[in-house]
Chains A and B, each alone.
Chain A
């Protein structure tokens, strides 16, 4: 066994690093570094640069216009992007609906939608959760009734991330209310400009507008916008969730957060000495360091298994649980490190154009991010759901 990258992989790492140094606009990386909310234009500028480089769809095979990278290259790319404070690519098109369209979509759907994702023409959002269907996703109630060549869709979706910028929605709907829970679900692609769609912001406890409610009121969706057969939506949904969870450990972000924490805690003074020398604080940093080391190797084990032909399975649930717990701990330690400086709240600075003096700007986002990171153990299947998945699929309980 060995844990080192091959010379080719190291060269690739250098290539990505050089590209990021040259191509990532500094105003965007600065916003990411300070934890300010990104505007639609920030995402698009960066994704257009990636698209031009051919690296936007890092998980796509060559036949669909992706770079054809393997799991190791994708891992290196993600880590380097996080280290350089590049924005996370909005995943709903490239990483979520695209694999579903590739696997279950018709040739026409593939030819129409995939190039539009690659060129950032479409901004996709996700219509999964409903007010009455969270962890119990298959309990969803949004109805789609067939009317000639269309479905008439009625219902409400929620937690729709960045839906305020989106022009396309992939949506789980109930097409057969009499079939068993999972069997009556279909997967529809819906134009957000359709009459009857209303998007309302949900402001989260950190003051951010990240998620939305989406109301569907007699929305007409052409039948050709269905992916897969009627009633096969759950198969698509599960396939997509596995993809959603693979990157969800967010190890690149955890590494970056730990680097930031250590540098912060060695600058901040506590009784005339760096905070990092306070034993109780240092102990928690050391434990976070250990957890990160373990997660990194676990992640490499999963990547190596994928490279050697395995499919992402329940191991991604393990990574999700431990990865989200670690990132939450790091956000907790970062907030604590700042002490009283974690108290002032500048929402205008965080999502607006305003400016703050350097010192305030450095600490402005820490507490808001701490609250924002609570989402990590809730989204993509709450950690308790992940544990039930492991119990069922790995331990056969």
Chain B
């Protein structure tokens, strides 16, 4: 049992903390959001130079072999700064899925440039009729001679505009779930681009008789691998939410100490102190769950899914609680776009809508509940 970070991990944490402090101030963040999301930012190039893009990939695909803790450190720092970079959606999720499905030729074409920061990708696993269920897929893939043909629609694909290619799950004629890489310029694709309410670039992807060469099929039975990578994503999201919860708590506490009413700081009122302590309790319990998730990635699938579902459900509810309290304790100021904590509140509430919300994951825990 050990919760301490290794020396390398402490260095990683310090590097990221410094980087986020230097390059993602509220003003810098606004400028980053205003920039077109279709090409790599200066910060992304810095990530590449620092080796951060290689971190969570195994050594046999050219990565640095980082584990769940390393990913947690990175995501937590990105969450603290609300860093508007698609580290998870544009790198880790599609990249890890490539790493466990792609042959060496496909890796050379898609994974190697991803790790070098030469392009970004996206993962389109979600469909509008299926809510959070990654295995209810109506997009169809049929093989015709030496090519595949894809038809269907993918919903809320993060980082769609910037992606050089999108990994798309599709149902095969034999009923299995296949995985394909669809280049951004593939004829038959069309996109409807937008930002999410918490500022992430996303879009819907329509596939209308998209024809792909056989080499664009990454897997003809991807279910287990997809579950494995979504588990990584959920653990990473929990860590990111911890960072955002920390910052929301810190900003709220600072505000309570500084803002005066009735001639005294708000922090002297017991009703507000206890509310602030409740936020802190939710944060610390969620941190424990995020650690549980980060250290469960290598477990057998059902144990892994049980713990990660528990963590995601727990963090989802805590994140919403902290977001709502942060707004309440900032009073009317917390309702304004100008108040920086409002950005955290939006992210923390919407965190629950990525990769399955609390209800979705509570059901998983319920199904896997051990009785004896």
Contacts and interface: CB of A to CB of B under 8 A. Distances in A.
Interface of A: 1-6, 9, 72, 262-263, 266, 276, 282-283, 285-287, 289-291, 293-298, 300-301, 303-305, 308, 315, 318, 321-322, 384, 387-388, 390-391, 394-395, 397
A262 B292 CA distance: 23
Nearest to A287: B362
Given A276-B371, A322-B285, A3 B280 contact: no
B2 interface: yes
Interface centre among A1, A9, A285 (most CB of B within 10 A): A1
B276 A397 contact: yes
Contacts of A266: 371
Interface centre among B1, B69, B289, B314 (most CB of A within 10 A): B1
Contacts of B138: none
B281 A395 contact: no
B197 interface: no
B256 A397 contact: yes
A283 B274 CA distance: 27
Interface string B257-288: 10000000001101001101110110011101
A322 B281 contact: yes
Contact of B4 (A72, A263, A308): A308
Contact of A282 (B4, B289, B366): B366
Contact of B277 (A72, A286, A303, A395): A395
A395 to B, nearest CB: 6
Interface centre among A2, A3, A321 (most CB of B within 10 A): A3
Contact of A390 (B277, B285, B292): B277
Given A3-B291, A3-B295, A290-B310, A301 B273 contact: no
A4 B1 contact: yes
A297 B369 contact: no
Interface string B151-191: 00000000000000000000000000000000000000000
A322 B289 CA distance: 14
Given A286-B369, A297-B292, A1 B277 contact: no
A296 B311 CA distance: 13
Contact of A293 (B2, B278, B310): B310
Contact of B295 (A2, A276, A286): A2
A290 B372 CA distance: 16
Contacts of B280: 318, 390, 394-395
B276 A290 contact: no
Interface centre among A4, A6, A289 (most CB of B within 10 A): A289
Contact of A3 (B276, B285, B292, B313): B292
Contacts of A263: 371-372
Contact of A298 (B69, B284, B365): B284
A322 B277 CA distance: 12
Interface of B: 1-5, 69, 253, 256-257, 267-268, 270, 273-274, 276-278, 280-281, 284-286, 288-289, 291-292, 294-295, 307, 310, 313-314, 362, 365-366, 369-372
B3 A1 contact: yes
A185 to B, nearest CB: 25
A386 to B, nearest CB: 8
Interface centre among A263, A294, A297, A308 (most CB of B within 10 A): A294
Given A285-B369, A298-B284, A2 B277 contact: no
A388 B270 CA distance: 8
Contact of B365 (A290, A321, A395): A290
A300 B285 CA distance: 12
B4 to A, nearest CB: 7
Given A297-B291, A384-B274, 6 more contacts: A1-B5, A298-B284, A304-B1, A395-B280, A397-B268, A397-B273
Contacts of B256: 397
A213 to B, nearest CB: 30
Contacts of B365: 286, 289-290
A268 to B, nearest CB: 13
A290 B313 contact: yes
Nearest to B269: A397
Contacts of A395: 253, 273, 276-277, 280
Contact of A1 (B2, B273, B276, B286): B2
11 contacts: A1-B291, A3-B1, A72-B1, A276-B371, A289-B369, A293-B307, A295-B288, A297-B292, A300-B1, A304-B1, A395-B273
A304 B2 contact: yes
Contacts of A308: 4
A5 B366 contact: no
A216 to B, nearest CB: 34
B253 A397 contact: yes
A315 B370 CA distance: 30
Nearest to B290: A297
A388 B267 CA distance: 12
Given A2-B295, A304-B1, A397-B257, A387 B274 contact: yes
B315 to A, nearest CB: 10
B286 to A, nearest CB: 7
Given A283-B366, A295-B285, A289 B310 contact: yes
A1 B2 CA distance: 5
Contacts of A388: 270, 273-274
